[in-house]
Structure 1
Amino acid sequence: MECDPIGTVHTPFETTSEAPRQGFRDDAEGILDVDPAYREGLTGFDGDRVVVVWWADRADRSVLTLDRDPGRGVFTSRSPARPNPVCVTECAVETVDPTAGRLDLRGVDMADGSPVIDLKVPLD
């Protein structure tokens, strides 16, 4: 399996533990920078929301049960700590500049510098 980041997200959170548990519960702002090779993929983007698929690169990949709820495994949660830390956050789009590959977002819950692996249009 191969997966290359398409960009990086910049947020006010240095670690995943500083980030809110779920982005939609917070108004934290961030900037998503799409790498030049992928900026053409923003052509025609005009949505007010975007689903950011990102990699929690600093998450503990050995965790299988939740410390805060010992009766639950990580696959019953949205915790970034998991064997393959693929995370999904739906964010509000404040502005988008396809030429610069920049999206200004609200509702981020990822640590600063987290790699972004995809962007999706949310379901209605």
Structure 2
Amino acid sequence: MECDPIGTVHTPHETTSDAPRQGLRTDAEGTLELHEAYHEGLSGFDADRVVVVWWADRADRSVLTLDRDPSRGVFTSRSPARPNPVCLTECRVLDAAPAAGRLHLRGVDMVDGSPVVDLKATL
């Protein structure tokens, strides 16, 4: 299996403990910047919302149960701490600059500098 980042997200959250549990629960804003090779992938982008598929690169990959409720496994939650920390966050698009490969978003729950794996525009 191979998966390479397509960009990076910049947010006000410096650590995993700073980040909210879900993007829907915050008005925090951030900027998603695609690597130049992927700018063309934003051509024609006009969605109001986008699902950001990102990698929680600083998450603890050895965790299998929740700290707050050890009777629950990580697969019953949205916790980024899990064996393969693939995360999904639906964000509101405040501004899109497709030619520059940039999206200004609201509802970010990622730690600053998190790698972006994919984007899914919602209609």
Question: Which bin holds the TM-score, normalised by the shorter protein?
Answer: over 0.9
1:110 offset after TM fit, Å? 0.3
Q: Which residue of 1 aligns with 2:110?
A: 110
Q: Which residue of 2 aligns with 1:17?
A: 17
Q: Deviations over 1:43-93 (max 9, x none)?
A: 110011000000000000000000101110000000000000000000000
Q: Distance in 2 between matches of 1:16 and 1:30?
A: 15
Identity %: 79
Q: Which residue of 1 aligns with 2:81?
A: 81
Number of residue pairs matched by the alignment? 123
Q: Which residue of 2 aligns with 1:64?
A: 64
Q: Distance in 2 between matches of 1:108 and 1:9?
A: 9
For normalisation by structure 2, the TM-score amounts to: 0.98
Q: Would you say 1:38 and 2:38 are equivalent positions?
A: yes
For normalisation by structure 1, the TM-score amounts to: 0.97
Give the letter for the 1:105 counterpart: L
Moved more, 82-91 or 11-20: 11-20
Runs of 4+ aligned structure 1 residues displaced above 2 Å come to: none
Q: Deviations over 1:5-64 (max 9, x none)?
A: 000000001111100100011000000001110010001100110000000000000000
Q: 5+ residue gaps in structure 1?
A: none
Indicate the SS of the match to 2:41: helix
Q: Would you say 1:98 and 2:61 are equivalent positions?
A: no
Indicate the SS of the match to 1:18: coil
Q: Distance in 1 between matches of 2:70 and 2:98?
A: 44
